[in-house]
Every structure is written in structure tokens, then in C-alpha cells.
Chain A
Amino acid sequence: MAANKAFNATRGDKIFDVCNTIIMALVLIVTLYPFLNVLAISLNESSDTVRGGIHLIPRAFTLENYSVIFQYQGLLQGAQISILRTIVGTIFGLISASMLAFTLSRVDFQARKFISTFLALTMYVTAGLVPTFLLIRDLGMINSFWVYVLPGVVSAFNVFIIRSFIDGLPYALQESAKLDGANDFTIYLKVILPLCKPVLATIALFLAVGQWNSWFDTYLYNASSPQWTTLQYELMKVLQQSTQQSGAVNANDMAKQMASISPESIRMAITIVVTVPILVVYPFLQKYFVSGMTLGAVKA
């Protein structure tokens, strides 16, 4: 809290701050470990990793695990589509969730109860693989980009999260806009959206990470159209290459390959490759929900 700094700290406050810092440092260490461990193994020679005991620092440094990944064709094409779907999917998802959340936050909205129930149930009913597949096929979305975006446009979870945030905003803001002659859409656009930045940033993060990480839709619907392949799907292929155990056909070749690379090392390197872009974008979203904001400024 920026404001807290100006405040003269009491002794109790100081003790609290010390304890809190220690707790936070502990959390920092405990949660940093798995990621650093993954990083260390990804930078370690496979044949050495097998011996175990790699924690935070690579024992036999190499970039080979990464070079194995980047050798594959299709990664670049996949990355482009992944970025595109992340952007388009996030925008679509934000629009739908924020609009629905706004309408459902209005106690006076006639259809509020019905729509809330209708949406809530979508979270708990699952139709199964086959009917969903047939629907997507009948909508002509197989082998197309839109299968990544359209089926997931409406997410009830996101709607309710945003609505809970809107519920916390003073209703008077809407009232005064209304008195100024604004219609409901204008209120949504001019009053609600700007105030919702923290929660929108959060939901954008969820949507983007979901889009970025998904591969199953590529697998089900677009596996035979290389132009719509995604990064995660291509990386799945890379991982498969190193895990394939059923290759009784080529036991000798397999043994040779395994000498140089192991699925564990590849998995670790892939984790890093897909996480780094998220980490790069993250600070831009983080600033909206970590630093406090003062509603007073908006009110005035």
C-alpha cells in the first residue's frame, strides 16, 4: 500500500512486517524451487540427468535439449497460430464475459435470474467427446482457425468472477450516469469497463494462458491441417518422439537416440519454452491487480 508508507509504524506494525517478510520469503523459496529445478534439468545433459540429484544448478551444462526442440519444423508456424488464437480468444472472451457480467450485475434486469442459472449450469453439464465432436463438425469448424475461439467464447466462471467485482463497485456511479442520460451500453463502456481493469486483467490472464496452453482442440479438430497447427501441439509431437517406447521395430535406433536425449529433459525444456512468453507478458497485466487503486479518484 503506497498510502501505508506515510503512516508512522507502531512497534506492533514493525513486528508484523518482519514476520510477514519472513513468511513471504519462505513462500518465495518454496514456490521458486520447482521452476528452477525444471530450468536446471533443461540445461543439463540428459545422460547426466538420469543419475538424479540435480536441484538448482546444472551439473553438465548443455543447450542440446533446446536445440532438439528447435530443430523441429512447424514450431514457427505453430507459434504464430498460438499467438493469434491467444489474442483473438482473449478479446472475444473478455467482451462476452464483461458484457454478461454487467447485465447480470443489474438487479433490475428482468432476465437476470434465468440467465444466471442458465449460465451456471453450463459449468456442470458435460456432453462428452462424441456429441461435441459431431456438433463442431456439423458447424463446419473442423480444419479451421475458429474452432480455437468460438466454442469457448462464453465462460460462466469468468462471468461470475467479473460480476462479483462489479457488485463491489458503488452503484451510485451508474445512477449518476443514468441521470446524465447515458444508456446501459454507454454505462458499460464508459463507467464499468474502466473500473473493472483489475478483474479484466485477471480474466485476460486466465483466458490467455488457457488459449496458449491448449493443444487438445488442435489434436481433435485440426491435426490434419498443418496451417492451423499450434505451438503446444507441435511440442506434443516433440515430446512423443522422445517418449516412444513401443518402437520394438527399431530397438537399436531407439537405444542410440535415448543415449543422447531423454523424455524428462525434453519435457523440462518444453516447460521453459512455453512459460517464458507468459512471464514476459505478465508484468503488463500484473500492474493492474497488484498495485492498489484509489476509487476516490474516479468518484470525483
Chain B
Amino acid sequence: MPSKLFRYALAPLVVMSLVTATACGGSDPTEQETSDPSTPITISFFGSDASPTWNNMKDDVGQAITKATNVTINAEYDVSGGGTQKIALMTASGEYPDMIFPKGSITKLVEAGALIDLTDLIDKYGPNIKKVYGDDLSRLKYSKEDPSIYVIPTNAGVGQTTFDAGGGFEVQNAVMKELGYPKIKTVKDFENVLKEYKEKHPTINGQPTIPLSLNADDWKIMITVTNPAFNATGAPDDGEFYINPETYEAQLHYKRPEEKEYFRWLNHMYNEGLLDPETFTQKSDQYMSKIASGRVLGLIDQEWDYQQAENSLKTSGMAERTYGHYPVQLDEKTKDRSFQDIGAPVGYGIGITTSAKDPIRIIKFMDWMASDEAQVLNNWGVEGKQYEVKDGKRVVPAAVQERKVNDNTNFTKESGIGMYNFSVRYGDGVKDPGGNYYTTNFPEQIIAGYTDPEKETLKAYGAKTWKDLFPQKDEFPVKAWGAAYNLPAPDDPNYTVNFQKSQDIVRKRIPEAILASPDQFDKIYDQMIAEISTDDMKKMEAEYTQMIKDTVELWGEAPAAK
């Protein structure tokens, strides 16, 4: 039988040479076509995130864009896997759309030589892009070895001000009220509050009270279990690495002794019966339904992760069971750095590929999208339809606002608002020359959206928003490397493999350590540290350190914006 097998295995090899011969015809950039903005053009685009409300530019904003630029975007948005698979196939076949939003797969496209350097194009045809980014333009450079600009960041607004705190440690407003709004600065304070209330009320609505629950379902473990170890010990969140602000040395953050103490505290919480024993087995929806039942006193989470449950509390008349955010620390020596300034945002963005026939026309389009006119159009919609100008102020009519909230899907589909993020733009809190905000989110909205119990709690602490309870950004220096999780990770397999291994180890050992008896904690934690301190792991950390150092050097070349 095997001989037969081999005989027939030969045939594909012959076919192979035929297939590959046809598979590797690359295309050269043909940049020299001059681009007349008056001729209509269709630009193909691939976006790695899903965008099901995409309506082929038939919406109001889309039509306005086509009218102004003669550009039609033919877009395909990924529905699975964030673009990785589709982009892998593109690089294998050498056929790309004109414009692409590759997210993390940018390294693959760069390696394949599929993206064109935008530096000169921006210089010649990008006055608006240059205006928005200012001196921080050098931050867009890909790397020290390859200082080309491949993408224009579209994922975050420049100058973005966050109006409210959505993270930290959370306690139900009802708990704080009953205990007379005590100060909670350290994990001990937090623990005492939960404990005291639980002893007073062993059940809530007839079900057992859960003092603290966390969500460790898949990657959420990073949000509620491992990342808070950064914040509670006075370090900024840089993904999986702690970066020494002086030396730029990167290490897996679990190696910091203070974080070990943080996890020891979680272990203590578990052994005291204060941490939900199902923390590491429950799925997100179980976690959510516990919160929605109103009997989870405290959380350590980001608001977007438990939003649904909080909404449910509001609609079912348990508004007093919603949560406040507190900058809790392991001890009084440190400060929460959630609001430390990361400088001009870099990260995921849109690039132009070598398949594009007319890159000049495309960059002109992207530049137009960065203009004041286009930003207002994308954020506010069409004047007279989605907003009005009264006394020089942009106002959203009540009827439009009503639809925005209650019929969002259809409203977005018809208006196209927010769907045309094809270039750099300003974030919340930035005002245009006319004194209007570019975006439709402002601080007043946040306060108006609070429930009464939230307002009551905030009043007791003399604050207007939860953010007021947190250390503000002017208390810390600007981070020289921005936020490490925004930087493209090293693409070398030695790095990626060992990084994945470190994640596998951490995600297994941290829960094990937390659920151990207190005398076993040290043994398990130290074993984990040993497992993530092998030579391979150290090499991985060294590679990351180098990447951070290179970034700081690269960005430092231009005068710092401030």
C-alpha cells in the first residue's frame, strides 16, 4: 500500500511547480500617475474589524464624502479573526486591496513589502495630516531599522481626553452609603468594606452575598486578574511587561515583588471566603448574571466588561447596586497611574499597499479625511440633518439624539456617522477653531448619565466624576514610549513562541496560586517565576527591551510635543 501512496504523491509535486510559478507574481508600485481629484475613483479597502453597518457609502456621510472627493470606497470588513487569516492569504497570493487596516498583522505586510512608505506622500500631499499630528509625526515611524511610515493611526484620537474613570476597584454605591462613605485607599480598606457589609448582610435578595468576584473567562483574565496588579502597585499598564522608566528594561510584570504581594492578597481573599470560589471557572455570562442579581459587592474590572450587567441593574430598579470606581493601591506608598499621559497615540492604522494604482490620489483622500470639514462630517453628520448650528454652536436635535440612543443600528446605517475613520483625527475634548468640540462626547454628558446613587456617592467624596478620585495626568511625567501594548511586538519566532509560552504558564499558575492554601502560595508563585525566568524567557525580555529602547530613540529624534 505505501508504494502506491508514494507514487501518487509524486504527481502533486509536479503540479506544485506550476502553481507556485503563478503564485508569486508581485506587483510594483506605479506611483507616477498624476491624480486629478475631479475624476471619480474607486478605492478598494480591507478592514480587519467587522463593520456590519457598512452601507456601501449610500448613507448621508458617505454621499457627502463622494461628493466632495469623487472617491468611492469599496470596502470589505473581516468578520472573523481580526484580519490575520485574510492577510495571510493576501501575502501568500500577492494581491492586496488599495488601502488596508491590518491591525496587528502590519508586521506581516511590512515583511512582505506590501505597504508603501508614506513619508514623502504625507510631506507633499498631507497638510491636514501634518497639522493634526504636528511634531509627533515621527512617532509614526515603523522602527529604528525601518523608519518608514506605513500606516496613519486611525484607532485613537489625537489629544483625546478621557472624561471619566472606567477602571480601578469597584464597590457598590449601596455598600458605601451604608458604611458612611469610608476612605478606601488600600486593598485592606477595600477588603474591610466588603467584609463588614457581608457580615451585616449575608444574603441579598434572598441569595448569598458575594463580596468579590472576578472574570477569568479566556483573555478577560488579563482585565480583571493580572493587569490590576500593575495599577494596584503604582505601575502603568504596559500589557504584559513592566518597563523601567529609567533604564527601559522590560520584564514580565509578575516578577515585581510588589505584584507577588498583590496576588498574595487575592489568595488571602480567597481563603477568607471573600473571593468568589467560581472566579476561575465561571464564564462571562455567569459573572454578569451574578453582578446583575445585585449581590456582588466589589469588582476589580473595567466598566465596559460589566456594562451589560450594570445596565440590567439600572433597568430592574436596583440603581443603588451600581458601582463606583476607586484608585485602590496595595499600600499607601504608591499612586494609581491609570491616567498617566502616553503622548500622541500610535497604534493600529491604515496604510496604502503596493497594489494601489494611484497612491497620490489615496493620500489626498486620507488628507481630506483629516480636514476639519471631514472630521465634523464623520462625527456629527450632515448639517441640517443630523445636527444644527445655533449661535455658532453645533447642536444635536432632540429627535436625532433619541434615535441615536434607541435605534442606533439603523441610525448609524442611514447617517453613516462614525463609520469613516479613514485618517487621523482628534479625540474627545479637542475643540475646533470655532470653539466646538470635534466629537460628540463631552464631560457634561458623563455627569448627566450618572444614576442618583452614583451622584450621591460622588458628592460624599466631593467629586464630580469618578476620574476626580484618581491621581491626574499632570502628577506624572509623559511616558517616553507611549503605551507598550500599542507598539508592534517583535516578529521573530523566538520572541513570539516564548511570549506565548510565558502566557500559558502565567494563566495556569496565577489561578493556581490564588486558590492555594496560604502556606502553599509562595511555593507555587516562586515556581512560576522560575518557569518564566529561563534563558529563553530572558532573551525574549531582552528583545522587548531593545524594541522599547529603539522606540524611545526613534521618537526622541523630533522635538517633544508639549
Does A associate with B in a complex? Answer: yes
A244 to B49, CA, bound (A): 8
Contact, CB under 8 Å: B408 / A256:
yes
B52 at the interface (CB under 8 A from A): yes
A99 at the interface (CB under 8 A from B): no
Min CB distance A151 to B, Å, is: 15
A30 to B277, CA, bound (A): 28
A236 at the interface (CB under 8 A from B): yes
Q: Contacts A241-B52, A251-B304 given: A48-B89 contact, CB under 8 Å? A: no
Q: Contacts A51-B289, A224-B76, A249-B156 given: A262-B308 contact, CB under 8 Å? A: yes
B186 at the interface (CB under 8 A from A): no
A237 to B23, CA, bound (A): 30
Contact, CB under 8 Å: A254 / B410:
no
A207 to B103, CA, bound (A): 37
Q: Given the complex, which residues of B lie within 8 Å of A220, measured CB to CB?
A: 85-86, 89
Contact, CB under 8 Å: A121 / B5:
yes
- Cβ-defined partner of B292 (8 Å) among A51, A223, A258: A51
Interface of A is mostly: helix
A257 at the interface (CB under 8 A from B): yes
B32 at the interface (CB under 8 A from A): no
Q: Given the complex, which residues of A lie within 8 Å of B74, measured CB to CB?
A: 224
User: Could you say which of A129-137, A182-190, A194-202 contacts chain B?
Assistant: A129-137
- Cβ-defined partner of B52 (8 Å) among A48, A52, A237: A237
Q: Contacts A114-B4, A130-B89, A249-B155 given: A255-B52 contact, CB under 8 Å? A: no
Contact, CB under 8 Å: B293 / A51:
yes
Q: Given the complex, which residues of A lie within 8 Å of B1, measured CB to CB?
A: 117
A219 at the interface (CB under 8 A from B): yes
Q: Name which residue of chain A comes closest to B48, CB basis.
A: A246
A259 at the interface (CB under 8 A from B): yes
Q: Given the complex, which residues of A lie within 8 Å of B315, measured CB to CB?
A: 47-48, 259
A129 to B1, CA, bound (A): 28
A253 at the interface (CB under 8 A from B): yes
Contact, CB under 8 Å: A134 / B52:
no
A51 to B288, CA, bound (A): 7
Contact, CB under 8 Å: A259 / B316:
no
Which B residues form the contact surface with A (CB < 8 A)? 1, 4-5, 8, 19, 22-23, 44, 49-50, 52-53, 55, 74, 76-77, 79-80, 85-86, 88-89, 92-93, 155-157, 166, 285-286, 288-290, 292-293, 304, 307-309, 311-312, 315-316, 404-406, 408-410, 418, 421, 441, 445
**What are 27 A-B pairs with beta-carbon distances under 8 A?**
A47-B312, A47-B315, A47-B316, A48-B316, A50-B285, A50-B292, A50-B308, A50-B312, A51-B293, A51-B316, A52-B288, A52-B289, A52-B293, A53-B289, A114-B4, A129-B88, A131-B19, A133-B89, A138-B19, A219-B79, A241-B53, A251-B304, A252-B445, A254-B304, A256-B408, A258-B307, A259-B315
Which A residues form the contact surface with B (CB < 8 A)? 46-48, 50-53, 68, 71-73, 114, 117-118, 121, 129-131, 133-135, 137-138, 219-220, 223-224, 233, 236-238, 240-241, 244-246, 248-260, 262, 264
